[in-house]
Structure 1
Amino acid sequence: MATRVFLSAGTEPSMRAIAREAGVGIATLYRHFPTRESLVDAVYRDQVVRLTSGAHALLGRMPPAAAMRRWMDLFGDWIAAKNGMLDTLLAMIEAGEIAHAHTRTELLTAITTILDAGRAAGDLRSDVTADDIAAALVGTFTVAPRPGHEAKAGRLLDLLMDGLRPAPGRP
């Protein structure tokens, strides 16, 4: 529930708004998450797990190129949720409470998992790296942030996917 509130918020929502959306009282929310930081940490870690485990789950259900495209949408949701908790996240990263470098490594590993499957299937180019895709995704969601620009982000992601597919004479 909190993830959905962070996703749709332009600025950090109040704990009261999160409790209301979850259908619980503010005391119940604070009983489970005594501080804003503990709630943000739980949502952030849940989203990272969804992205990292999502790579394998998607590959189990669809061809690698389709899995990559769907994973890009999940990444966009993660970015949007981060925007709704940005001030708290930045403070937590600065305080060393969240290891940003570790998260980056996990996400690059998830991208590599899909890329490797796509290369093996002949669905994705062999000369593209996980860093390339991560940079393209960050750029895409910088110019077409969610919420509000889903259609533009979708078009840009589709263009990116077109560039990731092998063409005759290209690896």
Structure 2
Amino acid sequence: MDMMLRHQKTMLALRQQMGWPPFKPANDCIAFTSGKTSDFEVGMELGRIAQMLGKDVIYSGWASVGATTPAAFTIAWRDLLTVDIIDRALPYAANDQAPVVLVSTRRNEHFAIDQRGSLVRVPGRPKSLGAGRRLAMKRIKAAAKTMGDELLAGNRHVPWGAETIAPDTAQVEPVVRFG
């Protein structure tokens, strides 16, 4: 239970620090997940889940049950014809107010949430990656401490290789604006 709560708090904090709302937005296109350290099998499963959910996936990989912080983040990013798996991504914050982004350690790119709430792939790697990573993790840990001590009702375990992923039954109508 402690492990699940630690994962939940970290992902809720990352979600908040990246600029994603704490509720289900109208453009509900990103899933936040966690589990064991990413490897080929995890990447394949994340690609499958992203396709089944119709959402990009941000995944925190944890080295052990007792780990207090994720080893790294993995992104399953849906392109037009493929699902790209970007592993070993690092959180980065340019300053105390800037949204946290996830930086690829393999390619010259990073991932951010745009004004529509979509996960976007942006060319370029920020400067001072080490300092930005430390600041991002400091902010994520601080935000995680403010999260509740109960598992969320919608939090669910997806069995490895499950054929179906049950949709969220709690539907919330989006606000519709006319301008």
* TM more than 0.5: no
Structure with more of its chain in helix, by fraction: 1
Give TM-score scaled by structure 1 length.
0.27
Larger CA Rg, structure 1 vs 2: 1
| Structure showing greater relative contact order (alpha-carbon pairs closer than 8 Å, 6 or more residues apart) | 1
Please give the TM-score of this superposition, normalised by the length of structure 2.
Answer: 0.26
